[in-house]
Chains A and B, each alone.
Chain A
Amino acid sequence: MVTTGALVKRQMTGPHTPGHAHTATMLVAVFVTVLAALGSLAFAGWHYELSRAAAHEVLFVVPKGTAVAQASGKDSEMLPKRLWLYVGEYDTLVIRNDDDFPVRIGPFKLEAGQRYHQRFRTEGVVQLVCSTMYHEEQIQIVVMNGSNVFHRLMEGLFRS
């Protein structure tokens, strides 16, 4: 019985010497560490991207009372006439409706309390009509390539 037990033990441990086991464990540990590092890197990238996007949010708020003010004939501009934004990851246009009434912006209706956000992925000019029940205004969004120095200069000059 003892012999068999010893034999079994030897057979089990025979091919895996302490040195081999240690190397295998080390390899797994290195692999896991690399995996964790890559995960951390991806997480950091994602987090950076989010914070960067937040930092470049071009936010416009339709304040409470806008529709009522417009109904009573007050001149209440919701958005600037022209807006300069960069393509892709750089700028995010955000329009938030804090009013109690819906606002129509181009092809959609922004309900009370709703928010719209958009990153533009191609250069160009977008025309939008924004309106409440009593007021309508035109907005021109100029989407530029952020790497163009001339565009950056224009943006610095004209951005609201």
Chain B
Amino acid sequence: MQRSLCIALVVAAALSLNACAGTTLRGGVLEPPRPAMPVELTNYAGQPFSLDNERGRVVLAFFGYTSCPDVCPTALAHMVQVKRQLGDAFQHVRVVFITVDPNRDTPSRLAQYVPAFDRSFIGLTGSPIEVRRVLTAYQVKAVRRESADASTYTIDHTAFTYVIDKQGQLRELLTFGTPVEDIVSDVRLLLSE
């Protein structure tokens, strides 16, 4: 009887584990994963930033600009909620905001903007050539739209979040508006690997 109980327990545990193993990434997944393209830029403190140094963390990279009226602040606000829901696990996550507007987004401007959402988030900029290199590598479109009186401009840009795993591989893309719980689920899954 004791032996049957043990066997039943093992079977139950195995079945439960199997059920848990069904969890999958919820975004647009790339398989097999390939190394993420390099990001060599400058953070808002004026220090060099390299994506290579983020190995061991899950990186959520978003492209935007500080004058963005709607999409960028919303995306960053979602990241704040992601951080809140992840709790302690967030220490193994990095949120990176990469400007598509290097002419206006200087390190000092990013330093005013990005930490206003969360002090752990990193804002990146560089020379127009350096930024263009990264945008091209990630297939990010950024089209400048002049205002009616040409005094200012906005930028239409790709609004995906690129998710890079702890091994530095580009794993998935999250469309703008992906529910926070889906992002949290995917980050947890990648952290558990």
Contact = CB atoms under 8 A, between A and B. Distances in A.
Interface string A118-152: 11111000100000000000000000000000000
B43 interface: no
A109 B173 CA distance: 11
A108 B22 contact: no
Interface in B8-36: 8-9, 11-16, 18-19, 21-22, 26-32, 34
Interface residues of B, number: 36
Nearest to A131: B139
A123 B88 CA distance: 33
A126 B178 CA distance: 14
A41 to B, nearest CB: 8
Given A106-B139, A107-B139, A108-B173, A116 B29 contact: yes
A119 B15 contact: no
A32 interface: yes
B5 A29 contact: yes
Contacts, number: 87
A122 to B, nearest CB: 6
B9 A32 contact: yes
A61 to B, nearest CB: 14
B5 A117 contact: no
Contacts of B170: 108
Interface string A38-55: 111011011101100000
Given A28-B5, A117-B31, A45 B139 contact: no
Nearest to B32: A114
Given A43-B15, A107-B158, 12 more contacts: A35-B16, A39-B14, A39-B18, A40-B15, A42-B16, A46-B22, A107-B141, A115-B31, A116-B30, A116-B31, A117-B28, A120-B175
Interface of B: 1, 4-5, 8-9, 11-16, 18-19, 21-22, 26-32, 34, 138-141, 158, 160, 170, 173, 175, 177-179, 182
Nearest 4 A/B pairs, CB to CB: A39-B15, A42-B19, A46-B22, A118-B28
Interface of A: 25, 28-29, 32-33, 35-36, 38-40, 42-43, 45-47, 49-50, 104, 106-111, 113-122, 126
19 contacts: A32-B5, A32-B8, A39-B12, A39-B13, A43-B15, A46-B19, A46-B21, A107-B138, A107-B141, A107-B173, A108-B28, A108-B139, A108-B170, A110-B30, A114-B30, A115-B31, A118-B28, A121-B178, A122-B177
